[in-house]
Amino acid sequence: MFDTNLVVVGNALTTPEWRRIASSGSLVANFRIASTARRFDRETNRWVDGNNLRVRVTAWRRLAEGIVTSVQVGDPVIVYGRLYTRDWTDDDNKARVSYEMEAFSIGHDLARGRGRFYRNKAVPLAGAVEDAEAEAMIGGELTLTVPAGDAPLGFGEGLPPSADEEPTFPETGPTAPLSVPPGSEPPVSDSPGSEPPDDDELTLEVERLVAEQPAAARRSRRSKREPVAA
C-alpha cells in the first residue's frame, strides 16, 4: 500500500551489468552502491566511518542504458528510487533478506567532481524492464547474464569522442566590483559647506521662524471662560 521512496548518496561498488529476465526476455541493468556515514570521534579528534548501507540498484529502459554507459566502480552517485526488502532462500536452504532499490533517477554527485551532460538522441534502443533475487534473481524473476557481444550498450558508447579527454573548466576568480552606469550618481555640490543640516540645526530654525511670526497670527488660548455681561 505504501512505498518507501528515498534518496541514497554513495559510491558504486560494482560495474553496472545487463541482466535478462528469463521468463520474458526483457533486459534490466543492476549494480550495487554503498553509503557510509561520517562522524566525528572526540576521543581521537578526527572523522571516522559510521554506519553504512549497501543496496542493490536496478534500473529499466532508458535509465538502464544511461547508467551502463556512464557509471563505473567508485563513482559517487545519487540514486532516487523505491527501497524494499526481498526474502529468498540460498543454496543451503537458509532464509536470507536483501535490500534492493528500484531506481527512478540516477546521477553523479557533482559536489565531488565535474561532468558533462549529453542528451539522449531520439533513437529507439533496446528496452530495459524491471525486477530482482540472489545474483540471478531480480524482482523474483530468474535472470541470465547477457554476454558482452549481445549487450546493447557498453561503457562510454554513444558519447562524443571528446568525452575520452579530460575536460577543462574555467576557474572562478574574484568577483569584479559592480559598475555604476553613467548619469546614475547622486548630484554632489561643489560649494564648500554644503553638507545637509543635522537635526539640531533644523529644530533651531523652526523655533526661530515661529518666534518671528506676529502675535495676531498666533492662536490665543483662554485659561477661563470670561463672563458675558447681561
**Residue 75 forms part of a structural domain:** yes
**Residue 153 forms part of a structural domain:** yes
Question: DSSP string spanning 63-96?
Answer: HHHHHHHH--TT-EEEEEEEEEEEEEE-TTS-EE
Domain, as residue range, for 10: 4-164
pTM for the model: 0.52
**Residue 53 forms part of a structural domain:** yes
Average pLDDT of the chain is: 75
Question: What's residue 38's pLDDT?
Answer: 86
Of 4, 69, 66, 75, the residue nearest 34 (C-alpha)? 75
Least confident span in 16-25, 44-53, 145-154, 156-165: 156-165
Q: Which residue would you say has higher pLDDT here, 57 or 166?
A: 57
Q: What is the CATH classification number for the domain harbouring 22?
A: 2.40.50.140
**Residue 143 forms part of a structural domain:** yes
CA distance 78 to 11: 8
**Residue 204 forms part of a structural domain:** no
Question: What's residue 212's pLDDT?
Answer: 73
Strand stretches in the chain, DSSP E: 4-12, 17-21, 27-41, 46-59, 76-89, 95-108, 132-133, 137-138, 141-145
**Residue 221 forms part of a structural domain:** no
**Residue 13 forms part of a structural domain:** yes
Report how far Cα 93 is from the mean position of its chain's Cα atoms: 43
Q: Indicate the number of domains in the chain.
A: 1
**Residue 188 forms part of a structural domain:** no
